[in-house]
Structure 1
Amino acid sequence: MASYGWYKPSVPKKVDNGIKAVNKRGAFGREWWGKEWIMRLERFNDSARLARGRAYARKGQVTGLSVTSSGVTAKVQGSRTRPYSVSIRLTPYSEEEYQRLLGVLGLQPVLVARMLGKEMPEAIAGICRKEGLPLFPASFRDIEASCSCPDHAVPCKHLAAVFYLLAEAFDRDPFLLFTLRGVEKDALFKALGGTLSPEPAPESKRKKKIAEPLPPDPESFWHAAADLSRLPALCHEEVNLPAVLVRRLGPVPFWRSKMNFIAEMEVMYESASSCIGDIRLQSEAAEAESRG
């Protein structure tokens, strides 16, 4: 009988700016929805790959993690030079299913009120399941998941790492579960009769406009418009909403600091705006003096 010997497990390359799990030991998921997500994952898969996935999540091997209505995309650094590409997608609700969901929720005013208060009552999962609109996957066949690594197992450790980080994202914002079903949170809140606005800075007391929503294609947020000719003119216009671009992004699912991200960015934007104003006044004064 041939002996194949023992192979040393591969060691992932270190990542300097990866997304490290807040959870350092024990079970992932603090809220019922995060726990439910992990329970489904661990019910579907073998423990060895899941253990390595937890280690990857805690080491910060995952980068570029994005959650949109089109699904989840991420990069996970393994032992090879280039990180692996990971994608996860749940079956989105059809328009008919979405309207049915709204109709059922409309019969539950107490639950809707709690949802508009940014809570996710556990009864919501039961209502969705009863209507054939499950929030959570019933089996791994309900999930479209892929990884560019050579391991053909689904999920591999790279996919598992992303799944564990998603549980922490759900803990912070349970409505991401609806996002993965193709239902954007702001559209859901509007349909339920409420509004969803970015969280304001605690110290800010002046009246502000609400930031415009993100474009339908989130990728376009990160690219400048083709025509930048108006940029000098815009610098002279008063901006009455500091950190407007940051506020358009809304809460950051994988923000790890205890400080309020939007509030801190507002302070920085206001400080930068004040400095730019001073520079502009100095420049205008120097120009006027040179004209004599």
Structure 2
Amino acid sequence: MNPATQSSNWSERWTNFLLAHGLENRLQHGLHYAQQGHVLDIDISKGHISARVQGSRAKPYRVEIRVKAFPCEIWDTVLTTIASQAALSAAIINGEMPENIENIFQEAGVALFPQVLKEIDTACTCPDIANPCKHIAAIFYILGQEFTKDPLIIFLLRGKTRDSLLTDLMNKRNALQQDVISQLPNNLLPAESPAPPDLAEVIRNFWQTDNKLTELVPVANATPDACRLLHQLGKPPDWPDGPDFIEMLEPLYTHVSKKFL
């Protein structure tokens, strides 16, 4: 499932959650307010949403929405489980919401998505006695759009910022990998690379030799360098059987090489 589909599902689920609690009429009014640009600003932080909505009065109304954040112990349990599964970790790091993410929260004893309306605490400074009012409903609508843009906002509403989520997840992944390495037999552990020699020491001793140089055995060249070509070419094809061609010219080659080389 691609991220767009995941985001759409979370947005639809949020809408269905509100409709299931009889807020259809309020949502229609909220939709109208949101589409008309009455929502002046909105801020989403850990377990809290604050916004300003322009109503019939000159001064905008202040809307506050609170969602119960999970304690650190719950997040520690959840992130430990996610970190132990590479596919889940990769999805979260890429900003995607895994399909089975809610199962992990359920195993930790909580529900990631709100189950009942009373889990969401709402307030507005408008005189409307109904709660949620149309100003709150407008923020509900905007929140559904935010789920479409970024499904990880549900984590923020449950008390975990994106930066903290990714940092804690990476730390737990590293800790698990180190634990696996520590349990490997010594012969399977990666060998440590030797430290490179000091450059100044290498330069200072570059031209020095050790005792191994005395072990080298020089090989005598049976053929003098001056006569090497002569021996390779041999005598001319028409040379008579008389005196040896190479024996005759070898002294001359030797003399010339000593004279000019």
TM-score calculated relative to the size of structure 1: 0.54
Structure-1 separation of matches of 2:47 and 2:9? 24
Aligned match of 1:119 = 96
Instruction: Name the aligned partner's letter for residue 139 of structure 2.
Output: V
Correspondence for 1:64? 41
Once the two structures are overlaid, the 10-residue window that deviates more, 87-96 or 42-51, is 42-51
Task: Report % sequence identity.
Answer: 37
The structure where helix makes up a greater share of residues is 2
Of 148, 156, 166, 2:143 maps to: 166
Distance 1:132 1:159 in 2: 29
Q: Distance in 1 between matches of 2:70 and 2:30?
A: 29
Cα distance, 1:109 vs. partner?
2.2
Instruction: Answer whether contact 1:115 1:121 (CA < 8 A) is retained.
Output: yes
Structure 2 counterpart of 1:75, one-letter code: R
What is the alpha-carbon distance in structure 2 between the residues aligned to residue 82 and residue 48 of structure 1?
A: 25
In the alignment of these two chains, the number of paired residues is 166
Equivalent position to 2:70, from 93, 103, 126: 93
Structure 1 regions of 5+ residues with no counterpart? Answer: 1-28, 195-292
* Secondary structure of 1:31 counterpart: helix
Could you report, residue by residue, the CA deviation over 1:7-53 in whole angstroms, capped at 9, with x for unpaired residues?
Answer: xxxxxxxxxxxxxxxxxxxxxx9611111111112212332221101
Determine the C-alpha separation between the residues in 1 that align with 2:49 and 2:22: 19
Runs of 4+ in 1 over 6 A off after TM superposition: none
User: Structure 1's 154 and 132: CA in aligned 2 closer, same or farther, altered over 3 A?
Assistant: farther
Change (3 A) 1:34 1:166: same
Find the counterpart in structure 2 of residue 47 from structure 1. Answer: 24
Compared CA separation, residues 59 and 30, structure 1 to 2 (3 A): farther
Pairing 1:81–2:68 present: no
Cα deviation for residue 129 of structure 1 reads: 3.3
Q: Secondary structure at the match of 2:20?
A: helix
Q: Offset of 1:103 from its aligned partner? A: 2.0
Give the alignment partner of residue 137 of structure 1, picking from 91, 114, 129. 114
Work out the CA distance in 2 between the residues paired with 1:130 and 1:151: 40
Q: How far does residue 131 in structure 1 lie from its aligned partner after superposition?
A: 2.7
- Compare CA radii of gyration and give the structure with the larger one: 2
Unaligned runs of 5+ in 2: 1-5, 172-261
Q: Distance in 1 between matches of 2:146 and 2:23?
A: 23
Following superposition, the deviation at residue 130 of structure 1 comes to 4.1
> What secondary structure does 2:64 align onto?
strand
**Separation in 2, partners of 1:113, 1:158:** 38
TM-score in terms of structure 2 length = 0.60
Q: Which amino acid aligns with 1:105?
A: I
- Distance in 2 of aligned mates of 1:130 and 1:188: 19
Looking at structure 2, the residues matched to 177 and 30 of structure 1 have their Cα atoms a distance apart, in angstroms, of 11
Q: Which residue of 1 aligns with 2:134?
A: 157
